[in-house]
């Protein structure tokens, strides 16, 4: 059975593009954006995907918006909900409704640098390795069980933009891979630690970058 996926986004949709181009064993049943002008929605329409706009500014508060968003997601009957540059913190009620089938990609090696401005913070701290993390979403922001990570070296002449570009290239590599593992039923989550079903001896699924 093909894995049914709903994608949530807020911006340009570069991770959506990477997922589509990876030709995964999934069906993207809807792409939902909270910003009407998001480039990712335009790309979804170009690819013949169902694109839905839910403008968060039209709702009185986060709870009301997330309740409407959850209903919209649910009607597409997803096996997996993928956050692909979705720039809103999800409410506990939304997470509870889809927990265990809600994936996010974060531009840092969690648990380091949760939240925003990760590349600037990495440079300010002087770390020598930076990267990105695919994780299951839980109510604790950017602290859900880790599925995959990719590391990139921090160069002496890096700026936030140059570092972000190298990290983004790794996001485009490991996010489709993590989604493939989910779709193939290969991810095993035991006590908050995710491993591959055929590699339970490993402590993590690590995908190194360059």
Residue 77, domain CATH: 3.40.50.170
User: What is the model's pTM?
Assistant: 0.94
- Indicate which residue of 56, 106, 135, 172 is catalytic: 106
Looking at residue 207, its pLDDT comes to: 54
Last residue of a domain, one of 42, 75, 98: 98
Residue 72 and residue 111 share a domain = no
Looking at residue 198, its pLDDT comes to: 78
Looking at residue 210, its pLDDT comes to: 47
Last residue of a domain, one of 75, 98, 121: 98
Last residue of a domain, one of 98, 118, 151: 98
Looking at residue 200, its pLDDT comes to: 56
Looking at residue 9, its pLDDT comes to: 98
Residue 124 and residue 202 share a domain = yes
Residue 83 and residue 125 share a domain = no
Q: What is the C-alpha to C-alpha distance for residues 131 and 8, in angstroms, rounded to an integer?
A: 22
Strand order in the sheet with 80-83: 51-53, 26-33, 3-9, 80-83, 102-106, 129-136, 146-153
Residue 86 and residue 5 share a domain = yes
Residue 164 and residue 121 share a domain = yes
Contacts for 66 with CB less than 8 Å, ≥ 6 apart: 90, 91, 93, 94
Q: What is the C-alpha to C-alpha distance for residues 121 and 11, in angstroms, rounded to an integer?
A: 22
209 pLDDT more than 70: no
Q: What is the mean pLDDT of the chain?
A: 94
Question: If you average pLDDT over residues 104-126, what whole number do you get?
Answer: 98
Q: What are phi and psi of 9, to 5 degrees?
A: -150, 165
Residue 109 and residue 92 share a domain = no
| Active-site residue, 119 included | no
CA geometry: angle 57, 87, 84, nearest 5 deg: 125
Range of the domain at 120: 104-210
| Count of the separate structural domains present in the chain | 2
Q: Is 118 helix (H, G, I), strand (E, B) or coil?
A: helix
Residue 76 and residue 46 share a domain = yes
């Amino acid at each position: 059975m093909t894995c049914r996926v709903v994608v949530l986004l807020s911006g340009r949709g570069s991770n959506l593009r990477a997922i589509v181009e990876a030709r995964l064993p999934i069906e993207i049943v809807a792409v939902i954006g909270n910003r009407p002008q998001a480039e990712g929605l335009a790309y979804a329409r170009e690819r013949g995907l169902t694109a839905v706009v839910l403008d968060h500014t039209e709702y009185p508060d986060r709870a009301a918006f997330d309740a409407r968003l959850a209903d919209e997601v649910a009607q597409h009957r997803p096996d997996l909900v993928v956050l692909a540059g979705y720039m809103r913190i999800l409410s506990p009620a939304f997470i509870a409704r889809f927990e265990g089938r809600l994936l996010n990609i974060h531009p840092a090696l969690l648990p380091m640098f949760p939240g925003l401005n990760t590349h600037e913070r990495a440079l300010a701290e002087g770390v020598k390795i930076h990267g990105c993390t695919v994780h299951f979403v839980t109510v604790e922001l950017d602290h859900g069980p880790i599925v995959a990570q990719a590391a990139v070296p921090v160069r002496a002449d890096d700026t936030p933009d140059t570092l972000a570009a190298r990290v983004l290239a790794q996001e485009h590599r490991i996010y489709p891979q993590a989604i493939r593992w989910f779709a193939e039923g290969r991810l095993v989550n035991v006590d908050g630690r995710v491993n591959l079903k055929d590699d339970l001896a490993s402590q993590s699924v690590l995908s190194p970058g360059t």
